[in-house]
Amino acid sequence: MLSNRNLIEFTKIKSLQLPLDFHKGKYDTENLKAHDLENEFSLLIEKGIARENEKSLLEQVGPRITKLKFGNVELETPIFMPVGTVGSVKSLSPEDVYSIGYRVILGNTYHLNLRPGMELMRDFGGLHEFMRWPGAILTDSGGFQVMSLAKIRKITEEGATFANHINGAKITLTPENVVEIQEDIDSDIQMVLDECTPYPATHAEALASMERSMRWAKRARQARKKLNRAQFGIVQGGMYGDLRVKSIKQLIENDFEGYAIGGLSVGESKREMRRLLSATIPWMPENKPRYLMGVGAPDDLIDAILLGIDMFDCVMPTRNARNGSVFVRSSAAPTGKIQIKNSAHKSSREPLDSQCLCYTCKNYSRAYLRHLFVAEELLVFRLMSIHNLQFLYDLTHEMREAIRSGELFHSLPDIRRKYAPGSV
Amino acid sequence: MLSNRNLIEFTKIKSLQLPLDFHKGKYDTENLKAHDLENEFSLLIEKGIARENEKSLLEQVGPRITKLKFGNVELETPIFMPVGTVGSVKSLSPEDVYSIGYRVILGNTYHLNLRPGMELMRDFGGLHEFMRWPGAILTDSGGFQVMSLAKIRKITEEGATFANHINGAKITLTPENVVEIQEDIDSDIQMVLDECTPYPATHAEALASMERSMRWAKRARQARKKLNRAQFGIVQGGMYGDLRVKSIKQLIENDFEGYAIGGLSVGESKREMRRLLSATIPWMPENKPRYLMGVGAPDDLIDAILLGIDMFDCVMPTRNARNGSVFVRSSAAPTGKIQIKNSAHKSSREPLDSQCLCYTCKNYSRAYLRHLFVAEELLVFRLMSIHNLQFLYDLTHEMREAIRSGELFHSLPDIRRKYAPGSV
């Protein structure tokens, strides 16, 4: 188990500046336009939010390796973090997740607060011991679940009141009690309560929502009792770059241990998401972890890493796996995806991905996995989840090593073709 | 994977004769009456099936250790065999099953024939490779599933015709094609097609059904093409001891590599099952494996091992686990059972069974398991199944070691109290 924990330790290991020809569009894809960085900055100057001399911030934008340390647990970013909603990365044991290489997983504040509840969390001294996870844990704020799961809800300045999705009982989450819950969970990285701005929203709606989230962030920062756990602020602002910049500037005043981008991957286009990342990232502190919430598609990971994001989470790899859908390298399927129930795999003695070294690919054929899936055998959900998590681990590993060697921009087209052929 | 396979090698390691005071009832339980052995024998003499001078057969009845060898896989009996219905011991990986200590699992002929089908089995060279199981495999005959799963069925001298439970297509299983299917599966122990006599049945019905099964057994023996795999005959005869003896005598004429007792645990009382075992076992060859089909309750295992059964199988440990019910030693729960969803376990930091060394008990609290079960997290089905299989493994291991040391009858009351407190 994790010991000698204290505040997250953050070290920058290596960073690359986006090369000149990147700005000229050499590495552009349909979604990521390198010149967005400059365009978005110009818009901020027009609106009086940025000054010309702040343009040097753009030079700091680029992919990087950082080291995060939580007590005896150490890891390098960029990383993906598997989601263990109610204290279990769905269908997997802690060993399954750890042995792929993962060292941080997510727990969901909203879910854990409902079940098993905080009395048990306190009894066990936190989620690590309860679920026997030897790595670090990040807990989200609950804000996203209030929006996506609760049928009836009311947001006031005080917090969010809603009927929970299990028994309909009325619950109020406030910036303060969300800190308290996370301190009971004893997570290593705790997220402040935010309102995930509805999509779409007008500029005025997004502004009001963002400003409330920023007031909540300040209250959350003041509510802490355990000062030896990291707390991250969350940038909001809907689909408006100027609001995103206002948001990060206000957050920084609270000196959080890290900064997250929330409210993306909520229905907007990939193009839109990248534009907003381009607007926001230059303003995020260089010496703190940067976390893009709820994002896990291979092409999104690649592009966001290029812009300097360190951390990601998403239910997609494990949820897709349970639906029979896995990511594979383009050498295994030109689309980068396999739907295992497809009859094309009926007699295939091939693994899901012959270049993958996961437990599943080392041992099982597509024919066997398809058979288990059709027969609804529980083992298949575990096997497919292991593979999808290995895939995202390998992707971030390859990006990391390419940053370390300085060869990332050279190898980028190959990495894209290999891991995200659909986006090339 | 299993290599150098050939016919099962059978070696008797140690056997104990039931002690004199056993016959006097010293170890009787409500269900197992030691004097059944003599009573049932007397009835056979009355009916003209046994002769007085055959009474010495009773002296051979008693618990034993045997060694079974399949190529490079070796194991000692008595053993329980987990059921991997369609090519997966439900919710577990082959490693999970193997690392508990299991070396033989079951596959279901009826199910595997429907899905994934024999074309795939032939492609893969059998089930071992398809499911990546490094131990031995026993396949049942399909007879039991025809009776329990198929809605419409017709039994003729030729075989059993029925509408399968998946898509209703008409299928005929014959003694010959069941041999063929099992040769495609390439199982190490193949069971002959039998009719599992309905319960209850009159003596005349049970006789007719048994005699047809014996004719089928003979046909199955003659239908083999692969002579290097073991084939077991199955004793039938309903609830009639005299029919059971007639059945085993007819089976022996075919010189099978082993003999199974079928058609028990179909609704009769435990008392009745033991009476029939007492009638049958004295007549089963001493120098061949004896297998009691479909039996897995701890008290049934103990009593049948006492009478000389070597092998068992049952879906109960894995099915119960998925329903939240586990076996535990009486020190962990006076009844020998825990229903994990019971609120008594809500805050329990105890493992399921503190004397158990399984992966689940070494790592997880009842509170965590209960939480996973209530939240319907897939991990819990695996964890509970591992525990239940470890429990039955430990039970047979303890019986085996007590036979080896010669102390079994001395320690029997303790073993019963420990593993099957409900039956004491």
Residue A327 has φ and ψ, to the nearest 5°, of: -80, 140
Q: Give me the residue from B90, B346, B375 closest to A377, CB to CB.
A: B90
SS3 B12: strand
- Tell whether pTM > 0.95: yes
- Chain-wide mean pLDDT for chain B? 94
Chain A (367-386) residues lying within 8 Å, Cβ to Cβ, of chain B:
367-368, 371-372, 374-375, 377-379, 381-383
pLDDT in tens, B326-382: 999 999 999 999 999 999 999 999 999 999 999 999 999 999 999 999 999 999 999
CB contact under 8 A, B379 and A92: yes
CB contact under 8 A, A375 and B90: no
Distance from CA of A193 to the nearest CA of B (A): 24
pLDDT band of B424, cuts 50, 70, 90: low
Q: How many CB atoms lie within 10 A of CB B255?
A: 11
Chain A (78-107) residues lying within 8 Å, Cβ to Cβ, of chain B:
86-88, 90-93
DSSP-derived secondary structure letter, B394: H
pLDDT in tens, B79-124: 999 999 999 999 999 999 999 999 999 999 999 999 999 999 999 9
CB contact under 8 A, A347 and B120: yes
pLDDT band of A207, cuts 50, 70, 90: very high
pLDDT in tens, A404-413: 999 999 999 9
Q: Give me the residue from A349, A371, A379 closest to B92, CB to CB.
A: A379
Q: What is the ipTM of this complex?
A: 0.96
Residues of B in contact with A92 (CB under 8 A): 379
Q: Which residue has the higher pLDDT, A50 or A19?
A: A50
pLDDT for B18 equals 84
CB contact under 8 A, A378 and B90: yes
pLDDT band of B34, cuts 50, 70, 90: confident
pLDDT in tens, A353-377: 999 999 999 999 999 999 999 999 9
pLDDT for A147 equals 80
pLDDT for A298 equals 97
pLDDT in tens, B149-204: 777 789 999 999 998 888 888 999 999 999 999 999 999 999 999 998 989 999 99
Q: Give me the residue from B90, B347, B379 closest to A123, CB to CB.
A: B347
CB contact under 8 A, B131 and A368: yes
pLDDT for A313 equals 98
d(CA B212, CA B249): 14
| Residue A20 clears pLDDT 70, i.e. is over it | no
pLDDT band of B146, cuts 50, 70, 90: confident
Domain boundaries, chain B: 9-314, 320-419
Contact A120, B347 (CB under 8 A): yes
pLDDT in tens, B294-337: 999 999 999 999 999 999 999 999 999 999 999 999 999 999 99
In this prediction, residues B125-137 reach a mean pLDDT of: 97
Q: How far is CA B311 from the centre of its chain?
A: 6
Q: Is any Cβ of chain A less than 8 angstroms from the Cβ of B321?
A: no
Distance from CA of A86 to the nearest CA of B (A): 8
Helices then strands, counting H and E runs in chain B, come out as 17, 16
Contact B373, B322 (CB under 8 A): no
CB contact under 8 A, A375 and B91: no
| Residue A25 clears pLDDT 90, i.e. is over it | no
Residues of A in contact with B377 (CB under 8 A): 86-88, 90-91
Most A-contacting residue of B113, B319, B377, B387 (CB-CB within 10 A), to test interface: B377
For chain B, give the percent of residues with pLDDT over 90: 86
Class at the top of the CATH hierarchy for domain B9-314: alpha beta
pLDDT band of A422, cuts 50, 70, 90: confident
Residues of A in contact with B375 (CB under 8 A): 86, 88, 115
Residues of A in contact with B382 (CB under 8 A): 93, 378, 382
Q: Give buried/exposed letters for A260-290 (b at 16+ CB in 10 A, else e).
A: bbbbbbbebebeebbbbbbbbbbbbeeebbb
B196 is in an annotated binding site: no
| Residue A184 clears pLDDT 90, i.e. is over it | yes
CB contact under 8 A, A90 and B119: no
* Angle at which helices B36-46 and B270-280 cross, to 10°: 60
Chain B residue with Cα closest to A94: B379
* Candidate from A26-35, A286-295, B88-97 with smallest mean pLDDT: A26-35
Q: Which residue has the higher pLDDT, B6 or A401?
A: A401
Residues of B in contact with A130 (CB under 8 A): 365, 367-368, 371
- Chain-wide mean pLDDT for chain A? 94
pLDDT for A24 equals 64
d(CA B73, CA B61): 28
| Residue A249 clears pLDDT 90, i.e. is over it | yes
* Residue A72, both tokens: 């005896």
Q: Is any Cβ of chain B less than 8 angstroms from the Cβ of A109?
A: no
